[in-house]
Structure 1
Amino acid sequence: MMQGYVNKNCEATILVVVRNNAKLKSINTVIDTGFTGFLSLPNNIITELGLPWSYRDRGTLGDGSEVLFDIYDAVAIWDGKAKEIEVNSAETDPLIGMSMLRGYRLQVDTIEGGLVIITDLSERSPIL
């Protein structure tokens, strides 16, 4: 189980550690259920971590416009385990997307300071 909180802008946030070899960085991220990728980071953090470039991909933003994103390879510490992920380069606040949340339950108490809980669905007891 992982925990975060709802910030003053009513955004669900969670701290994620991103790694590239020996470089580690804790990053406060906003959960974006409209983002289908794993994680987006601004260029300065990608450069700081020295993430290797992988490819360029087209994406559709919330307003319907299409943009090109550079995609980088990284490892995130997610639910206590190392997870290989793709990082979209975007000059926004760092975002966690639905690919990172796949296989997890997201619960949000939508008040300032509210609890954000992410639990692994594979650890649920089967319903009899």
Structure 2
Amino acid sequence: MAESEKITINMNVVDLGKVDLLVDQGFYSNRTDFIRTSIRSQLDTHAEEVKEIVIRKSYVVGVVNYGRKELEKLRDSGTMIDVKVAGLLVISDNVDAELVKQTMASVQVRGVLKANAEVKTAIQEL
């Protein structure tokens, strides 16, 4: 399973009180359980829309890794790629900003980007 990412949400006190009531009554083990369940429910509700967007926009869903060797092969063949990820994009620490600029025409991440600071800056400039 991929890493999880911490998020923060703000709720009004009335909604939070309702969540706490459901937790107190044993419907959920804690607030986090309620929030995760709610998010999964909404994702299930919109699964078809997500699928259509992924197909239409050519997104890869999941975890995508790019390492130095793979990007060097792209550079050597003169290939530029458009990277679209819904999930986690990992660019290895041994990849530098210049290699990213030589191989990636654009990068869109709906989720989390893991890369060194130099590479993140290069990606923002694309």
Report the TM range for the smaller structure's normalisation: under 0.3
Give TM-score, length-normalised by structure 2.
Answer: 0.20
Q: Which has the higher strand share?
A: 1
**Quick one: higher RCO (CA 8 Å, sep 6+), 1 or 2?**
1
Q: Which has the higher helix share?
A: 2
Which structure has the larger Rg over C-alpha atoms? 2
